[in-house]
Structure 1
Amino acid sequence: MPHFDLPLDELRAYKPALTALDDFDAFWEKTLAEAAEHDLDARFEPVDTPLTAVDTFDVTYAGFGGHPVKGWLILPADTTEPLPVVVEYIGYGGGRGLPHTHLRWAAAGFAHFVMDTRGQGSGHSVGDTPDPVGSGPAASGHMTRGIQDPYTYYYRRVYTDAVRAVEAARSHPLVDASRTAVTGGSQGGGIAIAVAGLVPDLRAAAPDVPFLCHFGRAATLTERHPYREIALYLKAHIGEDERVFRTLSYFDGINFAARATAPGLFSAALEDLTCPPSTVFAAYNHWAGTERSMEVYAFNDHEGGGPFQQAVQLQWLPGHLKG
């Protein structure tokens, strides 16, 4: 696929207007306050695995609405002192998967918390967290569930679960709560951006080819799912454009990026049809933190830098989490 979006020099300067409405902050303060009314009730059950170099815990905690959310906590074996923690969110359609697929951060000496994504986990990796909330009419997938109103929208629940995942990770006695980073690829990257805008004391955020950014451009620029789900919904629900994009404004990564002050490490791929590079740069260029960097993969699609980007993260994160 040849380059289809803006030239790189224009991408580096691309900073579209924010879409946050006047009540954006109040909406999220109310949402998180309601979640806080439920006891976090984070439980960590040891898991017997053949992985001798790590200790694994099956996690359950109360997310949005007090609903149980699953996760993994993976620590270097025989940890005795609190460690900095990397909280990771999963790409679209996937769940927390199996413990042996999450060894990189523990091998680097960190605690690693992996959040399951409610209602997903039947695509590229298995999940264990249902979404007990129904919705109005929706296109196939998750993007338009409850999109008629921001209070019923699916990602209100997911972003709340993600903030509570940070709280759950920090509650473990072998986690140093003062040294927390968030990361994820694609959907996980978009969730990491949202959390960075909602949790003010993170040490770092590393969103990789992030999804859930600059919805208005994404929905009209690419035919690839998941953004295509928005267009398909509007194809059927003619005349609802304004209402749909009003809802999406409360969940747009560019609006969270403008509130994120932690150091940020992004990546974008210039042939990415799933998360077009202009949507990634839109969030990056609005990032409020004074320290930020962008890795660009000129001839890659949505796989981005893959293991090369992981190597960059492994070099970058320790400087923000250790010491």
Structure 2
Amino acid sequence: MSEHTASAESVLRVAAKNPVAQGVVALTLAHPEGRRLPDWAPGAHIDLMLPNGVTRQYSLCGDRWDARTYRVAVLREPHGRGGSAYVHDHLAVGDLVGIGGPRNNFRMVPSSRYLFLAGGIGITPLLPMIRQADSIAADWHLLYGGRTRDTMAFGDELARYGERVSLVPQDEMGRLNLDAATDAAAAGAKVYACGPVPLLDALASRATSWPEGALRLERFVPREQPAPVRDSPFDVELARSGRTVTVTPQQSVLDALRAAGVGVLSSCREGTCGTCETTVLAGEPDHRDSVLDDGERAADDCMLVCVSRSCSDRLVLDL
């Protein structure tokens, strides 16, 4: 993900750092002066701005009613770009980190029934949802898959829910049974899933026959996109100033705006974090993100300018 593109809204101190599975550490973050932190809801994430200049997004996985601390969990990525390695090898208790957010692109909608599916570190955004569902006495179940039992974070924490939680280590039990998701959706459950690309793509392909809005996915990496709708320049009109910026085929909308001196907050530059979401007042965006659902795309009233483009000759943005 990008470096030095998100704006730090606060600086927090690493209050604790604990291993929670093989290759996974949990960080507890608190204000240096013990101040209350901004409220958040299940599904939210923060930008973590590390001392080495790298910015990464991590789901909040602690207690949303704890107003003094945030918790995130970081998987060591052997082939990553330095963020997780820094957290594991260098970040220490007492260090200061910049924080952006919280932001939420994975909101939990009200329902009497939920099915949660997690693959690996994808358990993190689902933990607060499970607590929420349990607190309102909803009918819920978690299917949680991982390579091996010792790589599956927060197993001890989930044990208190008993049979509502099904741990599925692949080396012992094989892959997750996605038929359960289809059955749950047919019975009226909301299905929330986070994990590796093959799992999410398999669920998305099944969900074409499910009731609208039954499936919500959180992606840590961008999904593959077809070629842009158009390969010619288009204009972006800035409604607040009346200026017009031309976007060439070689530029992203975000880069064109920044080249013109227009400040837009961004972070991942991959269409996965939602930081650069911008209101669209006119025109038809070519949505190329991994955040918006089908209904939000059909509304055409917002876009992620780091990756999305235009189907029309002109877009009017609320900038």
The two structures have a TM-score, normalised by structure 1, of 0.27
* Higher relative helix content: 1
Question: Over alpha carbons, which structure has the higher Rg?
Answer: 2
* Higher relative strand content: 2
The two structures have a TM-score, normalised by structure 2, of 0.27
